[in-house]
Amino acid sequence: MSRSLPTPSKISLPFWESCKAENMQIQRCEDCGTYAFYPVYICPECASRKLAWTPVSGRGTIHTFTIAAKSSFDSDEPLVVALIELEEGAMMVSNVKTATPETLSIGSPVRLTYEKVSDEITLPMFEPA
Ligand SMILES: [Zn+2]
C-alpha cells in the first residue's frame, strides 16, 4: 500500500521547499502578525495580502490526536495523527513519531522533525519534546 504524497501547488510550493531544506516556514501577516497554515492568499484575520514566509521555532503542543492501529507505511509503529498547535499559533495536521503513543496527551510538547519521502517531498513530522 503506497502512501499518497502531497502535490505542491503554486501557493504551497514555498512551504514544501522550506520543508525540503528542513527549515519549515509558514506565512506570517506583516500587518497583524497572525501566522497562517495552510498557505493562503489573504490573511484570515485582517484580509491583508502582505504575507511573508517566516521560519517557525519548531516547538508546538498536541491540540488533539488519534492513534491509528498501525501506520500505512513501512513501520510497525502505530501512527499518531495529531492536530499540532505551533508555538506561533498556527494549527497543523501532522504525525507524531513515537514508539509509546500511550504517553501522549493533549497539551504534550512536541518538536518538529522531517521525513524525506521522495525527491520532491519532505514531510514535516513531530516527535515528543
Ligand atoms: Zn493580518
- Picking from 121, 108, 119, the residue whose alpha carbon sits closest to that of residue 24 is 121
For residue 50, the CA-to-ligand 1 centroid distance in Å is 8
Tens-digit pLDDT profile for residues 40-87: 999 999 999 999 999 999 999 999 999 986 655 666 678 899 999 999
The neighbourhood of ligand 1, an ion, using CB within 5 A, equals: 29, 31-32, 34, 43, 45-46, 48
Tens-digit pLDDT profile for residues 84-123: 999 999 999 999 999 899 999 999 999 999 999 999 999 9
C-alpha to C-alpha distance for 13 and 63, rounded to whole angstroms? 26
For residue 82, the CA-to-ligand 1 centroid distance in Å is 26
The residue extents of the domains of the chain are 13-128
For residue 99, the CA-to-ligand 1 centroid distance in Å is 39
Pick 13-128's CATH classification: 3.40.47.10, 2.40.50.840, 1.10.1130.10, 3.40.1180.10.
Answer: 2.40.50.840
What does pTM read for this prediction? 0.88
Residue 72: its pLDDT value, please? 57
